[in-house]
Amino acid sequence: MPELPEVEAGRKLAAGAGAGHRVVRVETVDDDIVYDGTTPEAVQRCLRGRTILDTHRHGKHIWFELDRRPWPCFHFGMTGAFVVYRDQTDRPRCWKIEITYAHGVRLAMTNSRRLGRVRLRNDPRAEAPISTLGFDPYLEMPSPTVFVETLRSRKAIVKGLLLDQSFAAGVGNWIADEVLFQAGIDPRRPANTLSVQEAKTLRAKLASVLKKAVAVDADAGRFPRSWMFHRRWGKRDGQKTARGEAIEHITVAGRTTAWVPSRQR
């Protein structure tokens, strides 16, 4: 379930497993889709014998800083995840790469629907696709003034803008819906029609939703009960929020959108 908070939880998991440790073994699955612009063999060569100096994330992308370039970059797509374990018998299904560290811990990336990607980059931040991303709203939220000005300059539907990775990197479908719900804004409104106050509220809700979701390592069971998140699926239309308002489903910006017409204007 990889949007920014899930990906950040994955980065933390990878950091805890591998930071400061040397890679002694890399196993890969033959896959010419997930390995994008590279090969399983090249990724093995890049990692084997190297030490993980640090882990980084921007939006939904993660990469490992090694003691030699290039560095491996990971994107989870719709279904990817990192899994950490010690025994090879615990290797998860749909694994694409398994890294074994000198202290015996293993890290695997899984990807059941194969929309995830593994890439090699010499300077991930300076090269596509990470170089094309906008600000990471967890690490570097723009000031209210800049945020308001940016919205004023964009005609795109506000939900579409939130999903645009070149605007705010890491926001996905449920976060966009949650933030618009909490800010009381109709997802279909053009961004440049939001008032200054609405834009500031949107920014504040984006920051608070991300802060909370990251703080609980994207464990949905620990999201506040007031969030629409818990009721957006399941019974579909007619389901009620925690406050009793009806949730409707429409398509906005090409994505299924859950919203509360009585609260979002």
Partner DNA sequence: CTCAGTGTTCAGTG
Partner DNA sequence: TCACTGAACACTGA
CA gap 111, 118 in Å, rounded: 10
* Catalytic site includes residue 2: yes
* Residue 174 near DNA by CB under 7 A: yes
Q: Quick one: 18 or 59, whose CB is closer to DNA?
A: 59
Instruction: Tell me whether residue 238 or residue 254 sits nearer to DNA (CB atom).
Output: 254
Residue 101 or 135 with smaller CB distance to DNA: 135
Which helix or strand (DSSP H or E) is residue 13 part of? Answer: helix 4-18
User: Hunting for tokens 């999201």 — which residue is that?
Assistant: 223
Judged by CB under 7 A, does residue 256 bind DNA? yes
Residue 78 Cβ, how far from DNA at the closest point, in Å? 4
Q: Among 16-24, 46-54, 141-149, 249-257, which window interacts with DNA (CB under 7 A)?
A: 249-257
Q: Kindly state the number of chain residues that form the binding site for DNA, as judged by CB under 7 A.
A: 35
Decide if residue 253 touches DNA (CB under 7 A). Answer: yes
| Contacting DNA within 50-89 (CB under 7 A) | 59-60, 75, 77-78
Using alpha carbons, select from 155, 212, 140, 133 the residue that is nearest to residue 179. Answer: 212
Check if 60 is active-site.
Answer: yes
Contacts of 45 (CB under 8 A, 6+ apart): none
Our CB check for DNA shows the closer of 51 and 112 to be 112
Catalytically annotated residue among 6, 8, 40, 60: 60
10 Å CB burial of residue 252 (0-12, 13-18, 19+) is: buried
Q: Does 45 bind DNA (CB under 7 A)?
A: no
Closest to DNA by CB, 6 or 98: 6
Q: How far apart are CA 174 and CA 223, in angstroms?
A: 13
- Binding status of residue 92 toward DNA by CB under 7 A: no
Q: Which amino acid is at 80?
A: G
Cα 107 to Cα 33, 104, 179, distances in angstroms: 20, 10, 33
Q: How far is the CB of 49 from DNA (least distance, A)?
A: 30
Distance, CA of 238 to CA of 245 (rounded, Å) = 9
Side chain identity at residue 252, one-letter code: V
Q: Is the peptide bond before 190 cis (omega within 30 degrees of 0)?
A: no
Strands 106-110 and 95-101: antiparallel
With beta carbons less than 8 A apart as the criterion, state whether 171 and 7 touch: no
Judged by beta carbon, residue 44 or residue 165, the one nearer DNA is 165
Other C-beta atoms closer than 10 Å to the C-beta of 183 total 21
Sketch the per residue contact string, 116 through 155, with DNA: x for CB under 7 A, - otherwise: -------------x------------------------xx
Q: Among residue numbers 176 through 235, which ones bind DNA (CB under 7 A)?
A: 190, 233
- Binding stretches for DNA (CB under 7 A): 1-3, 6, 33, 59-60, 75, 77-78, 94, 112-115, 129, 154-157, 160-161, 163, 165, 172-174, 190, 233, 249, 251, 253-256
* Catalytic site positions: 2-3, 60
